[in-house]
Structure formats: structure tokens, C-alpha cells
Amino acid sequence: MLPEVTLNKVSREDVDRVAGWLQDDRVASRWFGHYACGDPVHRGYEPAHMVEASDSEWDRVFVHDPHRFIYSIYNEWSEHIGESQVMVDERGGAELSLLIGRTDLWHRGYGTSTVMALLDQVFDFYRLDRAWVNVPDNNTPAVGLFKKLGFVHKDTSKLCQRRDGSAVNSLILSIESSNYQPQHANENRSRSTPVVTVAGLPGSGFESLGAEIADITGSRFLDDEISEMVGRRLRRSVGELDALKSSSRSFWSRTMRSMSAHWEQYGATDDPSVLFGPRLNIDSHDPLGYINKQEYLEGFRGVITELALEGNTVLCEIGANLYIPSKVPAFRLLVMASDESRQRRIAGEFGLDPMDAEARRTQLDRDSLAMCKHLYGHDLIDVEYYDLVLNVDRMTQTRAAESIASMLEGDSATIQREFLAAVR
């Protein structure tokens, strides 16, 4: 029976261990991928450097790269034992590489379990057509492992030359998705649910619908927690993030925010060139340390990307649909409802009479649309940004959630076609 492994997000402690492992020539020579004949060359980044890298550089390597996905390999006792990577190519395939750094765990099946987990990611999660590896021909255990799993030898090339002049050749082995038969799972093997984003105008009930979809699919549901995660990432309070969002809701709020920084910077003065000088822009650097649009969007993008890569998640946050990595299966839902039904929900939520509820709904609509336009740069209710636009006036919330959950196994085009047929 093969041991269990999990593919986790990479931490700085993990990278530090990788740097130490690569000092062992035995480990460096077993890296399943390109390496130099001599000093070990790690793929994608330099471990010793990344341990002390800035947060922005870390995110560039481990979060924002759309073509390289890096995972730490953990065993059944939650011990870090290696690293693996998926490098997506331009032909609908991906190159795999992995390293089991714990030499005491070699020849115990951890490499095989890791390759199976990577193939599940490539074929089930990223929905790619082909996986391939580049293995030194003298790494007999690795070659045997891949052939056992159905990889076929496609090509041989010279990898590098040793100091004694002899050549090290590389074997290219690949497997098509149609030929991969998971050996570690039964017919009832669970499948990753696509990441779901849910958005809508105030009073549409998009938040409660997203929560019900998550409950039915067994996914993690995140709404207000997303702002908390962005705040921790940027070392900012949720109040600071809310202030930035509020300043994006109207021309005057954006103007007053930037002017307030201007007044605080210069204090009391009679010099008109100072009082009425160039207005600060919330998109640019602020000398007083206020959070700006660019800083917020970088943090927001990083959080959404990490959550999307984890999978099995329902993200109930306006703007989340814009930052799902292109290779991650996702379903973007816009929830709509009539003005009258939204006013009834708002009246019940705030305890308002019909007239006040209409005024509150109008103001909330205006604020939400303006914030989305000026902060995220898109129209909240533009259907081009979504896979499905659902009018919840036409069916109960429970039926809508159950119908969407039952179709999440297909691609977004199939989901939309089948769902529209079901509600007509």
C-alpha cells in the first residue's frame, strides 16, 4: 500500500529545508528535471535567496506565476519531505518535476504517491491533455517509476557534460490524460469542485446563495474573511481597507480622501500654492502611509489566487471573479433579482418601511457599482465577466443552489447551457 502525501502551499521554512537538502549530492542528482553537472541548480528559484526575499518577490514566484505551480510535499505525519512543480506549457500539457529531500524515505513509495497526486492535479484540476517529465537517464528508479505509471519514452537529448567529459543524457517521457488510470483510488474517488465566485447587487441574496452552494458541495465558504486575509497580508486593518473601498464609491469621496492627505501633509498655511497644489491620487503612493488602490489590488489578487489554487472554495466577494488564475477551473456566478424583491430583502434586513427601503436600495446600488468601477475597473453587472447570470426571482434559492451544485463537474459552457435549459 502506498503512503499518503499532500501537496501544500510553500512556506519559507520549507524553502530553507530545500536549500539544505540540495547540499547533498545524492539529493541534487535525484531532482527529476534539469540540473547542472556540478553545483545543484534548483528549478524556478534559488532557495537560499528566496528564504530572505521580499513579500512581493515571494508572491511573484509562488503565487502570481500563471505557468508554474510549486507545492511542498508532506507525508501522513505532516512532515515536509520534498517539493514538486507543475510547469504548464503552451500546447495544453505540463512538465512535472519533484524532489524527495528526505533520503531516509527513499524507496518507500513517496515518489510514486507524489506523481499520482500531481497527475490528479494536471488532469482533474487543471484539465490539461498531457503530462511529461525530463529525467536523467542514469536515474534508473525515476525512469522505472514513470514507466510503471504509464509514461512512454518520447525522446532522448543531451542534458549536460560532466567534468570528466562524459555526457549525461535526458529521457523525455509523457502520458496522455486518456491513458492515465489512477491506481490509488476507487471508482468513487472524490473530484475537486471548481472554484465558485458569487457576486450581485445589494438585496439579491447572493451571499446566502453562495453559502448554500458551499454547504451542498462541501466547499469552504469565504466572504468577510477575505478582507481579513487581505489585511493580514498587507499588514493593514480591515478599517483601512473599508476606508479605501468607501472612498471609491463617489467622485466627492475620492476627492476628499486625497485632499485630506494633502491637508494633513502640509498643515495650516497661507500659501495658496500649497493649499491648492496638485491633488494626491489614491492610486499612487501616499506619503502619509494611507493604503492606495495599487497596494490593495496586489494584496487582494494574492489572496484570491492562493484561495483559488487550494480549490473547493466558494468566494463571495465582489471582484474575486477577476483574479482566478486562468488554469484553475472556476465558475463565476452573478445573482440578479428585481428591484422590488431586493427592496423587500433590504427592508427586512434594516427594518425599513417601503419608501425608505427604496431609497436605501438606490443608494446601495449606486455605491456598489461605483466602488466596483473605480476600485476593480469593471462593471459589476456586466455579464461578460461571468459564466452564468441567475435571476433568483424565477426559482427558490435552495433549488438554484442544488442545480448549480449538481452541474459543477462540467465545464462552464456546459453548466450554463444545461442550467438555462432547466429554468426555461
Task: State the chain's mean pLDDT as an integer.
Answer: 80
Q: What is the pLDDT, as a whole number, of residue 380?
A: 94
Q: Is there a single domain that holds both residue 83 and residue 16?
A: yes
Number of domains in the chain: 2
Q: Is there a single domain that holds both residue 17 and residue 87?
A: yes
pLDDT digits (tens, 9 = 90+) for 56-68: 899 889 988 888 9
Q: Which of 117, 151, 179 is the C-terminal boundary of a domain?
A: 179
pLDDT band for position 7 (cuts 50, 70, 90): very high
At CA 231, angle to CA 66 and CA 304, rounded to 5?
25
Q: Is there a single domain that holds both residue 220 and residue 358?
A: yes
List the single range of 162-166, 295-299, 371-375 with lowest mean pLDDT. Answer: 162-166
pLDDT digits (tens, 9 = 90+) for 322-343: 999 877 888 999 999 999 999 9
**Minimal CA–CA distance to 205: which of 345, 27, 415?**
345
Q: Is there a single domain that holds both residue 137 and residue 202?
A: no
Q: Which three cell numbers stand for residue 313?
A: 472554495
pLDDT digits (tens, 9 = 90+) for 107-156: 788 888 999 999 988 988 888 899 999 887 777 778 888 888 889 999 88
Contact between 260 and 290 under an 8 Å Cβ cutoff? The reply is no
Is residue 259's pLDDT more than 50? Answer: no
- Residues 349, 357: Cα–Cα separation, whole Å: 10
User: Does residue 189 lie in a domain region?
Assistant: no
Is residue 4's pLDDT more than 50? Answer: yes
User: Does residue 281 lie in a domain region?
Assistant: yes
Q: Which of 131, 149, 179 is the C-terminal boundary of a domain?
A: 179
Of all residues in the chain, the percent with pLDDT exceeding 90 is 38
Q: Is there a single domain that holds both residue 11 and residue 130?
A: yes
- Residues 185, 172: Cα–Cα separation, whole Å: 27
Regarding pTM above 0.75, the answer is: no
Q: Which of 179, 203, 218 is the C-terminal boundary of a domain?
A: 179
User: Does residue 185 lie in a domain region?
Assistant: no
User: Does residue 186 lie in a domain region?
Assistant: no
Residues 6+ apart with CB under 8 A from 179: 150
The more confident residue out of 278 and 4 is: 4
Q: What is the pLDDT, as a whole number, of residue 260?
A: 47
Q: Is there a single domain that holds both residue 65 and residue 139?
A: yes
- Residues 330, 111: Cα–Cα separation, whole Å: 29
Q: What is the pLDDT, as a whole number, of residue 282?
A: 44
Task: Give the dihedral of Cα atoms 29, 31, 37, 38; nearest 10 deg.
Answer: -70
235 CB-contact burial (10 Å; exposed 0-12 / middle 13-18 / buried 19+): exposed
Q: Is there a single domain that holds both residue 287 and residue 419?
A: yes
The DSSP output letter for 193 is P
Q: Is there a single domain that holds both residue 297 and residue 250?
A: yes
- Residues 204, 222: Cα–Cα separation, whole Å: 18
Which residue shows C-alpha cell 501537496? 7
- Residues 270, 273: Cα–Cα separation, whole Å: 9
SS3 277: coil
| CB < 8 Å & 24+ apart, contacts of 374-379 | 374/248, 374/249, 374/254, 375/244, 375/245, 375/248, 375/293, 375/296, 375/297, 375/319, 376/297, 376/318, 376/319, 376/322, 378/322
- Average pLDDT (216-222) is 85
- Average pLDDT (9-26) is 90
Q: Where in the sequence is the domain holding 208, given as residue range(s)?
A: 195-423
- Residues 275, 255: Cα–Cα separation, whole Å: 14
SS3 153: strand
User: Does residue 184 lie in a domain region?
Assistant: no
**Max CA separation in the chain (angstroms):** 87
User: Does residue 187 lie in a domain region?
Assistant: no
Q: Is there a single domain that holds both residue 145 and residue 289?
A: no
Is residue 39's pLDDT more than 70? Answer: no
Q: What is the pLDDT, as a whole number, of residue 96?
A: 93
Q: What is the pLDDT, as a whole number, of residue 73?
A: 95
Q: What is the pLDDT, as a whole number, of residue 182?
A: 63
CATH value at residue 92: 3.40.630.30
pLDDT digits (tens, 9 = 90+) for 64-118: 888 899 999 999 999 999 999 999 988 889 999 888 999 889 878 888 899 999 9
User: Does residue 56 lie in a domain region?
Assistant: yes
Per-residue H/E/C for 103-124: HHHCCCCHHHHHHHHHHHHHHH
SS3 232: helix
pLDDT digits (tens, 9 = 90+) for 174-202: 999 888 876 544 433 444 568 999 999 99
CATH value at residue 256: 3.40.50.300
| C-alpha 129, offset from chain centre | 21
Q: What is the pLDDT, as a whole number, of residue 12?
A: 94
Q: What is the pLDDT, as a whole number, of residue 11?
A: 93
